[in-house]
Amino acid sequence: MLRPGRLSAALAAICTVVLTATLLAGSAAAGEPRSADIPQATSKAAKTPTTKAAGNKVVGYFTEWGIYQRNYHVKNVETSGSAAKLTHINYAFGNVTGGKCAIGDSYADYDKAYDAASSVDGQADTWDAGALRGNFNQLRKLKKLHPGLKVLWSFGGWTWSSGFTEAAKNPAAFAQSCYDLVEDPRWADVFDGIDIDWEYPNACGLSCDTSGKDAFKNLMSAVRAKFGSSNLVTAAITADASSGGKIEAADYAGAASYVDWYNPMTYDFFGAWAAQGPTAPHSPLNSYNGIPQQGFNTDAAIQKLKGLGIPASKLLLGIGFYGRGWSGVTQDAPGGTATGAAPGTYEAGIEDYKVLKGSCPATGTVAGTAYAHCGNQWWSYDTPATIAGKMNYKQQQGLGGTFFWELSGDTTNGELIKSIS
């Protein structure tokens, strides 16, 4: 099992009754998606593409546990060229327990000693009393190299979201605990704000929450009140736009005034938790003929959130730097049957882009994203070409920028983040 991380918005929704309505959308040829793959927006603003309206935020998640098996460190953010492309880093994750924000992994966060060769600036950590080490010190050094780069501490995630139920009972106390932790004098200069990743308020993720529709708004209001206008306050939110789905379970519109932006998790819509398939791209840009669940696509989420009155400038487009796959598949096109999850380096059914681009290259595109059929395996993932198409969509919709999960899935030379920037 993965360390606490963002797994699937769809995982908790696989028992949802599949709607029968479908929308037609053409598959793209190799390269950029055809115009049929980019949905026609309904608003006047969206119908008039304008690059001036869209924002240029590029937010990448850095996972604290990536320093172990993955051997991915803050220095890799620099050597890959990613640091120069990023505007913000979300450091994932802090824990939520006992109704409070808490340290996730103290060794990784501020204790691990980096030698000169592994350090961002070529200087080894010291064991002097009070000296900061670990990822926090490496992030401090990275910010010195890139003064415009901002870092937010993200709390929750798939595994640690159950703590928000208790936190929602006393939002002010929760906000105070988070502020005290983020602004701890040992590392206050490292962080420029907080990201809340509650999966999912008043709905089910790894566990189910019944805090009520107002709980998320109340919690975000308290966080903003405590952190003030000088700090960034953001939130990762569901992208389930199905009828009666998770977007409807919480007052995301009401909470929008308290956040600088939302990160709708427009990936993990489909995957091998449905072991027999049907195969489907986990991050479709739009609907397509045969999609297993209506409302499970990027455009549906963006349009539903905008329809609630949330400004486009407060919505970032989500990209996954990984693929999801099945085994026992004979059909090349989406919609085939399977026998189970495809093998993955760290977990069955999921693999980094940097691995898949060589082990199972893309063989087709559908709904603005790529898929690959190799042997008896079937994978879906974004490529530089499909990300370019999604960036066109981001511009057309006037979104505030792009975010992605997560940095270690990219190639050593930052192939995917370059296609975003």
| End-to-end CA separation in angstroms for the chain | 32
Rg (CA), the chain: 20
Q: Which candidate, 242, 65, 225, places its Cα nearest to that of 160?
A: 65
Q: Are 119 and 59 in contact (CB under 8 A)?
A: no
Domain ranges of the chain: 44-321+386-420
Q: What is the pLDDT of residue 181?
A: 98
CA gap 77, 87 in Å, rounded: 12
Q: Which candidate, 384, 387, 388, places its Cα nearest to that of 415?
A: 384
CA gap 303, 401 in Å, rounded: 16
User: Has this prediction a pTM greater than 0.75?
Assistant: yes
CA gap 267, 318 in Å, rounded: 7
Q: Which residues are catalytic?
A: 199
Q: From the first residue on, what is the mean pLDDT of each consecutive set of 10 residues in the chain (421 residues)?
A: 40 35 32 30 35 83 98 98 98 98 98 98 95 98 98 98 98 98 98 98 98 98 98 98 98 98 98 98 98 98 98 98 98 98 98 98 98 98 98 98 98 98 80
Alpha-carbon distances, residue 311 vs 58, 253, 261, 408 (angstroms):
18, 9, 9, 31
* One-letter identity of residue 138: Q
Paired residues of 60 in beta bridges: 89, 404
Q: What is the pLDDT of residue 421?
A: 80
Q: What is the pLDDT of residue 30?
A: 30
Paired residues of 101 in beta bridges: 96
Can you list the alpha helix ranges (DSSP code H) found in 256-321?
Answer: 298-307
Structure tokens at 274: 């449905």
* One-letter identity of residue 230: S
Taking residue 17's Cβ as centre, other Cβ atoms within 10 Å add up to 9
User: Domain 44-321+386-420 classified CATH 3.10.20.30?
Assistant: no
Q: Is 84 helix (H, G, I), strand (E, B) or coil?
A: helix
The DSSP secondary-structure symbol of 152 reads E
CA gap 242, 376 in Å, rounded: 31
Structure tokens at 83: 């640091």
